[in-house]
Amino acid sequence: MALLTAPAERAGDPELAPAVAADIDKFEHVLAEYLAGRVDEDAFRVFRLNNGVYGQRQGGHNQMVRIKFPGGAVTPAQLDVLADVADAFSRGWGHLTTRQNVQFHFVQLERVPALLRQLAAVGLTTREACGDTVRNVMACHLAGACPAEVLDVGPWAEATFRHFLHHPYAQRLPRKFKINFSGCARDCGQAMFNDVGVVAVHREGSDGRAEPGFRVFLGGGLGANPHPAQALEPFTARDDLLVTIEAVLRTFDHDGERNNNRRARLKWVIDRLGIDEVRRRILRERTLLLASSSWPGGVPALVDALGDEPAGGDPAGAPGGTPVRLVSRTARSEFERWRAANVVVGAASGAVSAVAHAPLGDLTAVQFRDLASTIRDLGCTAVVTNRQNIALRGVDPGRLVELHGRLVAAGLAQPGAELARDVVSCPGADTCNLAVTQSRGLASDIGRALEEAGLADVEGIRINISGCTNSCGQHHVADIGLHGAERRVDGVSAPGYQLLLGGHLGETEVAFGQRALRLPAKAVSEAVVRLVGRYQEERRVAETFASWLERSGGAASVGEALADLDRWPTRAERPDYYIDFDETGPFSGEVGQGECAAS
């Protein structure tokens, strides 16, 4: 289902497809009825969320608008429109999320229809980006360019997005439903903590050849009670994938909890019924789905048209076929440091992928436009990553110096990808109703502290922050994870964080971080510097943070070495301990009514 009749690049004012125009007309009509007092508040909230419009902490008519990018793919024309939206509707910048969306804050409710039309003109939609729906369908940002992949899952993510957009079963689910794709067991797409996680795998066919297909995992989730996804069956053929995902969705719709929002995700269905019974119901649903008019069996036409052949072998000869950096980490020039950290050899043709690093996931209108012109001029493509950056794909190796220069001019050339400075954060109490703390402010302070300590370039360590337990910043799967928590000191509220250590995923497994200790917000940066410094000093060659942590006694033991930081000075001694980052007044742990937070 094509969203628009318009081409990817601008061509005047393209005419919207009738279904898209009707959708936006409906939003405009219902909004007018709501503003006139003729639509119930709760009904409008559900309607608004299903259209990707989310209330902000500031209240009134301030809204966050979330735009879906299936598989993260974004075109130059779309980047130009994002720049226009940032200038005309928001505050001059947009935010890249951990689920490959782009969000704009402080959009006034009355102006949303005009914004939706501007997005739709370049094939973008906010439909079902929030609410109890099928959310944005994610994929590994190196899909189609990674030598380790079994299949290019990019076309599969797009086909899945198109199938479920406006699907009758995807509108009023018991709770939100998230789908991720990874092209191999390294799981860069993060399949192992989603409602449906799809990983491309091989099995031996009847002729002895390796047959590519998928392994489907289900019932994963983060939030306050993280659950690892569990396998549905050993192998799902390409012909059966989309019908399998629909069978999972329908089973969730039939059996999900509708009276208790806190126990409504698919993971709780598995807890209640058991994985074996859930598997039985899904496989039965899949068998009988042939009778449905929406039966999506077979390889989707879009996948047939685009192809899903893997990228092929690694021209640099990396062991195991994994993507490789181009130079050593001892590089000294700015260009070499950037190339070592942010550039990956990704395809047999020798083309490379390079990451434009967006600190905190923020891009200004000027940066959106700079990226659009860079992509056009260099003839590459772009993907939003799940670490809140932009991956530029299919770059000519001979133009890397030119690309670096353009990213420097745009302020996007920090050697940040997969280094300690690449801190991930949710929006936090800046705009979110549920956040307890200013996670973005802490992320900035951690970055500052690492730079000053000379540790920002340490590789192989991921730092993620959430402003509350709901894990929108994915703190559970980070080497160093932090979530905001109110602390009470002599009866006074103060901003604090829970530190978790050792989260990671890969090889179709996920490990959630373990609690180490709680810290005052203003002591967290020093704790992180100590942790990163100790890891850098003590680790063995190529040792992961998780392996080092286990060798060092685990999260609790390592946390004991930081216990001196869990000390609350009096307000007279350190008044800043009682004021959160980016705030000027005393801390308040009050939160608002959530609308679609993780759980």
**Could you read off the pLDDT of 447-475 as tens digits, one per residue?**
999 999 999 999 999 999 999 999 999 99
Name the DSSP letter for residue 478. S
pLDDT at 395 over 90: yes
CA atoms within a 13 Å half-sphere pointing along the CA-CB vector of 562: 28
Quote the crossing angle between the two packed helices 400-410 and 365-378, to the nearest 10°.
170
For residue 77, which amino acid is it?
Answer: A
Q: Which two tokens stand for residue 369?
A: 């436009």
**34-48, 173-187, 523-537, 570-584: least confident range:** 570-584
Q: How is the beta sheet containing 424-425 ordered, strand by strand?
A: 424-425, 463-466, 480-489, 492-501, 514-520
Residues 6+ apart with CB under 8 A from 381: 73, 75, 375, 392, 393, 394
CA 263 to chain CA mean position, Å: 22
pLDDT at 587: 85
Residue with the larger pLDDT of the pair 272 and 19 = 272
pLDDT at 5: 33
**pTM, rounded to two decimals:** 0.92
For 533-550, write each residue's pLDDT tens digit. 999 999 999 999 999 999
Residues 6+ apart with CB under 8 A from 160: 70, 137, 179, 181, 242, 245
**Closest-CA residue to 103 (of 111, 95, 114):** 95
pLDDT at 319 over 60: no
Quote the crossing angle between the two packed helices 365-378 and 76-88, to the nearest 10°.
170
> Which of helix, strand or coil describes residue 66?
strand
Kind plus residue range of the DSSP H or E element containing 325 = strand 324-325
For residue 49, which amino acid is it?
Answer: L
150-306 is classed in which CATH architecture? 2-Layer Sandwich (3.30)
CA distances in angstroms from 12 to 8, 15, 77, 116, 194, listed in the order given: 12, 9, 12, 17, 40
What residue ranges of the chain are covered by domains with CATH 3.90.480.20? 18-120
Name the DSSP letter for residue 581. T
Q: How many helices, marked H, and strands, marked E, lie in the chain?
A: 16, 23
pLDDT at 17 over 80: no
pLDDT at 312: 73
What residue ranges of the chain are covered by domains with CATH 3.30.413.10? 150-306, 424-578
CA atoms within a 13 Å half-sphere pointing along the CA-CB vector of 138: 31
Return d(Cα 55, Cα 34) in angstroms, integer.
Answer: 15
Beta bridge partners of 596: none
Return d(Cα 208, Cα 205) in angstroms, integer.
Answer: 5
pLDDT at 19: 81
CATH of domain 18-120: 3.90.480.20
Say if residue 224 is exposed, middle or buried (CB neighbours under 10 Å; 0-12, 13-18, 19+).
middle
As assigned by CATH, the class of the 424-578 domain is alpha beta
Return d(Cα 540, Cα 375) in angstroms, integer.
Answer: 39
pLDDT at 407 over 70: yes
For 75-126, write each residue's pLDDT tens digit. 999 999 999 999 999 999 999 999 999 999 999 999 999 999 999 999 999 9
322-410 is classed in which CATH architecture? 2-Layer Sandwich (3.30)
Q: How is the beta sheet containing 138-139 ordered, strand by strand?
A: 138-139, 179-182, 196-204, 210-218, 230-231
CA atoms within a 13 Å half-sphere pointing along the CA-CB vector of 391: 28
